[in-house]
Structure 1
Amino acid sequence: MLTSKVLALDAETGSIIWEQAAKGPVQSSPAVAGDTLFLGFMDHRMLALEQNTGTVRWQFETGGAITGSANVTNGIVYFGSWDNFIYALDAATGELIWKTRTVGEIRSAVAVHEGALFASDNEGNLYILNARTGQKRMRFRTGKPNAASPAVGNGLAYFPSGGKVYGIDAGVREIPGELQFKKIWAQFWLWQVPGIPKPSGQRGARWRFSPKDTKAGIISSPAVTAEAWYAGDTQGLFYARDAIDGTELWSFQADVTILGSPVVLGNRVYFGDMGGEFYSLDRNTGQVIWQVSLGAPIAVSPVFAQGRFFVRTTDGRLHAIE
């Protein structure tokens, strides 16, 4: 949400409960844990707000904009900043627990799963850290721009980068000196030194998926279940792929570009497109259950709460769909 205010609305009526002025635009979505709301600002601050009143409980300042939503797990607030750091703060006090430097800016939300933290930067790197200490376990390199968050499940990190989606072993660990060794190995192979085989790929890589249309790209985070992962591309094609090997299960052609991540609930998958259409598909077959036209482009992911979807369109309206 790109605005200079934080608003709390009544889910039934849409009326304003409270509002909190911001010093600059807010591009991230809030994370809620207990009675506290955690929100990053483009003016470099992470705030903890009392959920019912909007009162500031604490604030922490970084060296860059915060555009990715916070992740709150086991009493710790995890997030990244444009200052090339990933942060872990005590959720109750805002005290810094650790911070870890990255090569590029962290512009999207981080994921935490089974004691590991997963984050991607704008230079195409996926980081796997120890969530307790911030120590790096792995850095996977694509060299392609990325602005989407990794999704984690089924022992894999699903990593969008450069318009493609990579399936990376979530438990992989980097071996010290391995990258330098492979660079030398690759050089000897390029020189066609006798007996030198072609170098293997990066450690942890399971598969890589590219959209069917070479002009298309996947720039949002996939939704992941035990059976499949789901994502749409910039040419409006929506995919269901096998969760383990990435092979195609089905695809569906929407009207236009799909920018937001989908949401899976029960046997259905929900998403919107830039033509203003909001879809409900059977997640096993791709068949349309229903679709609704909202009259303006949908560029972000829907949110499901209290039995209804809340969908924001680019004309500034918030729609509630039951």
Structure 2
Amino acid sequence: MKQFHTRGQVISSPVVADGQLYFGSSDHCLYALDPATGSQKWKFKSDGRITSTPAVSGGVVYFGSYDGNFYAVDAATGQLRWCMVRNLGCVYFGSGDSNIYALDAASGSLKWKFKTGDVVHASPAISGGILFVGSWDSYFYALDAGSGREVWRFKTGEDPVIHNQVGIQSSVAVADGVVYFGCRDSKFYAVDAATGKERWSYPNKGSWVISSPAVSEGKVYFATSDSGLFHVLDAKSGTPLYSLDFKHLAFFSSPAIAGGTLYIGSHQGRLNAIDLEEQKVAWTFETDGSKKNGPAYTKDGTPNYEAAFFDFFYDDMVSGVQKMLSVGAILSSPVAAGNTVYVGSTDGNVYALM
């Protein structure tokens, strides 16, 4: 096991492209490392936290920052190619101003923007010239990628009692003419990519589905947040094939599949490797921060809300969440390249596991 330490939390998911490993950190920097040795090739400093996952294409790395800007930097050198300032967004990306933006990749000029009813945290996917993305307004959108014209929209559920049981935070997977995504209404959806009609949905007993799905060999894989369940469904029918109960582990990280093994991280700082043929956990890795979790979690992984949030749950919500993040949570999604799995953690490290 190797690791590279930054000066902030690593929520950004790492990306391996053209022989380099790219990721952002809340220390305001985007890093490029040699994936074999973990040595730093270069870093680019913005004026805000970088929690977005970078995209690499044509020798350019694209990413957004909490400074409100969207950057394009040279993948080999880390030199700035161009920067789009606040209110102009990013290349095929959602924004906190409720818009979905499309920018010219070469120049950064605005091609089009589309207004949704709330913030857009999910990453879009493009298939067949159509862009698919969900919004916190509880709608899932299909847009023409060239013009930004709306093709269709799909309405998810809303909880009339608990106000925050709404919105789509999960990014989408597209396979065989179907789009798959989770929702904060506690359901997982399969929607026809051409028509926007529901194929099927799967209930999750009041638990958000924030983790994005993976689709492979006719099966769809996803995990829940509050209930700590990992589900495998038939991609065509939505029929449950099997589930693994991780008890109190909360999943915000999205799964990655390589060589018959699925990798997914938990809020408690554990990276789980699941053998898909045996349908069981093959091994678990704990981040450095999770080994010093103190009072935030009990030994079995149960969140210790009294210790984390004191006596006033809502008054101390921000403080409590920061305590839980400080224990090395894995919100970043793992990436597998060759025989190595890379993952970031809120303890400030990026880990390379072989």
* TM-score of the superposed pair, with normalisation by structure 2: 0.74
Give, in whole Å, the separation in 2 of the partners of 1:274 and 1:25: 20
Counterpart amino acid of residue 94 in structure 2: G
Counterpart amino acid of residue 166 in structure 1: Y
Counterpart amino acid of residue 148 in structure 1: S
For residue 52 of structure 1, report the CA deviation from its aligned partner. Answer: 1.5
1:61 matched to 2:85:
yes
Residue 263 (structure 1) aligns with: 256
Give, in whole Å, the separation in 1 of the partners of 2:269 and 2:127: 33
Q: Which runs of 5+ in 1 are unaligned?
A: 71-76, 174-203
Give, in whole Å, the separation in 1 of the partners of 2:117 and 2:144: 17
Residue 170 (structure 2) aligns with: 148
Cα pair distance change 1:84/1:276, threshold 3 Å: closer
Higher relative contact order (CA 8 A, sep 6+): 2
Is the CA contact (8 Å cut-off) linking 1:6 and 1:19 kept in structure 2?
A: yes
Residue 146 (structure 2) aligns with: 132
Counterpart amino acid of residue 44 in structure 1: G
Residue 36 (structure 1) aligns with: 60
Match for 2:211 among 197, 207, 220? 220
Give, in whole Å, the separation in 1 of the partners of 2:236 and 2:200: 9
Give, in whole Å, the separation in 2 of the partners of 1:135 and 1:233: 32
Residue 26 of structure 1 aligns to a residue whose secondary structure is coil
Is the CA contact (8 Å cut-off) linking 2:140 and 2:168 kept in structure 1?
A: no
Residue 301 (structure 1) aligns with: 333
1:318 matched to 2:311:
no
Which structure has the larger Rg over C-alpha atoms? 1
Is the CA contact (8 Å cut-off) linking 1:62 and 1:81 kept in structure 2?
A: no
Matches within 5 A, 1:210-289: 210-211=203-204, 214-234=205-225, 235-255=227-247, 256-289=249-282
1:208 matched to 2:188:
no
CA deviations on 1:273-310 (whole Å, 9 max, x unpaired) are 23333222232452233333334232221122343111
Match for 1:9 among 19, 33, 42? 33
CA deviations on 1:215-249 (whole Å, 9 max, x unpaired) are 43321111112411111112221110111111101
Give, in whole Å, the separation in 1 of the partners of 2:193 and 2:278: 28
Give, in whole Å, the separation in 2 of the partners of 1:307 and 1:52: 23
Counterpart amino acid of residue 221 in structure 2: Y
CA deviations on 1:148-201 (whole Å, 9 max, x unpaired) are 21221121111211232111111116xxxxxxxxxxxxxxxxxxxxxxxxxxxx
Residue 25 of structure 1 aligns to a residue whose secondary structure is coil
- The alignment yields a C-alpha RMSD, in angstroms, of 1.9
Give, in whole Å, the separation in 2 of the partners of 1:59 and 1:299: 27
Is the CA contact (8 Å cut-off) linking 1:9 and 1:18 kept in structure 2?
A: yes
The aligned length equals 280
Give, in whole Å, the separation in 1 of the partners of 2:137 and 2:116: 10
Counterpart amino acid of residue 23 in structure 1: D
Residue 11 of structure 1 aligns to a residue whose secondary structure is coil
For residue 38 of structure 1, report the CA deviation from its aligned partner. Answer: 0.4
Residue 257 of structure 1 aligns to a residue whose secondary structure is coil
* TM-score of the superposed pair, with normalisation by structure 1: 0.81
1:98 matched to 2:112:
yes
For residue 32 of structure 1, report the CA deviation from its aligned partner. Answer: 0.5
Residue 92 of structure 2 aligns to a residue whose secondary structure is strand
For residue 257 of structure 1, report the CA deviation from its aligned partner. Answer: 1.4
Match for 1:22 among 38, 43, 46? 46
Is the CA contact (8 Å cut-off) linking 2:223 and 2:229 kept in structure 1?
A: yes
Residue 35 of structure 2 aligns to a residue whose secondary structure is coil
CA deviations on 1:38-74 (whole Å, 9 max, x unpaired) are 011122221110012111111122428x6xxx7xxxx
Residue 94 of structure 2 aligns to a residue whose secondary structure is strand
Give, in whole Å, the separation in 2 of the partners of 1:40 and 1:161: 23
